[in-house]
Amino acid sequence: MTVVLAVAIGLGRETSTFDLAKRDAVFAELRANPDSAARVVIESRFGPVNLVREGEDWISPERDGYPVEGSDVRRLVSGLADMRFVERKTSNPERFHRLEVQDIKEEFADSAHVTVTKADGGVLADVIVGRPSARFFEGRSSGTYIRFPGTNDVWLVTGVTNVQTRLVPWLARTIVSVP
């Protein structure tokens, strides 16, 4: 009887009772000025992807300046800028693979090391992005596991940031537009 009552009470609770608006931004400077992002480097087991801003456009230096979908870059940058800390999940490296925040040099690593810099080279974000979380915040699923390079602390943060680790999906898909 006691177990049934405890389960019933637990099921009636909200999954998260904290105020996300009061949580600290993961990347405060990027959150304050996302338009200052001038370069995004995504490193993974597949190699690096470089995205560079030229004026209002984004290009790929690996493809001799071929245009990149600016909306995709903006989506990634704003996703990083909107991240807020929820809680520290682990500092045990043996669990990194489950959360997909392992070192990108490990065989079959699913993580992505993302670095966002300003035009002067100042770092706005430097993070290893893992898998999305199935945890619910305010009635919606929106969390991602992250780890800062050189540390063992894995954090659950708000927002889902899906990082494309190969170059081709970033490239502009419109080659010629004939009116």
Instruction: For CA atoms 28, 123, 106, 153, give the dihedral sign.
Output: negative
Question: Residue 124, exposed/middle/buried by CB under 10 A (0-12, 13-18, 19+)?
Answer: buried
Whole-prediction pTM? 0.82
112 assigned to some structural domain: yes
The answer to the question of residue 51 being in a domain is: yes
Three-state DSSP string of the chain: CHHHHHHHHHHHCCCCCCCHHHCCECCHHHHHCHHHCCEEEEEECCEEEEEEEECCEEEEHHHCCEEECHHHHHHHHHHHHCCEEEEEEECCHHHHHHHCCCCCCCCCCCCEEEEEECCCCCEEEEEEEEEEEEEEECCEEEEEEEECCCCCCEEEEECCCCCCCCCHHHECCCCCCCC
Q: Is residue 6 part of a domain?
A: no
Residue 35 belongs to some domain of the structure: yes
Residue 7, in any domain of the structure: no
* pLDDT of 130 strictly over 50: yes
Query: Residue 15's pLDDT band (boundaries 50, 70, 90)?
Result: very low
Report the Cα–Cα distance between both ends of the chain, in Å, rounded. 73
- The span from the CA of 88 to the CA of 85, in Å, is 8
Q: Can you give the pLDDT at residue 110? A: 93
4 belongs to a structural domain:
no
Looking at the 3D structure of the chain, how many domains does it have? 1
* Higher-scoring residue by pLDDT: 83, 141: 83
Residue-wise pLDDT tens digits, 50-76:
999 999 999 999 999 999 999 999 999
State the pLDDT confidence band at 135, using cuts at 50, 70 and 90. low
Q: Which domain does 95 fall in, by range?
A: 18-163
Token digits of residue 66: 């071929």
Query: In this predicted structure, what is the pLDDT of residue 18?
Result: 46
Question: Would strands 66-68 and 57-60 be described as parallel, antiparallel, or unpaired?
Answer: antiparallel
- Does any domain span residue 13? no
The verdict on residue 172 lying in a domain is no
- Two structure tokens written together for 40: 């995004």
pLDDT score at 176: 64
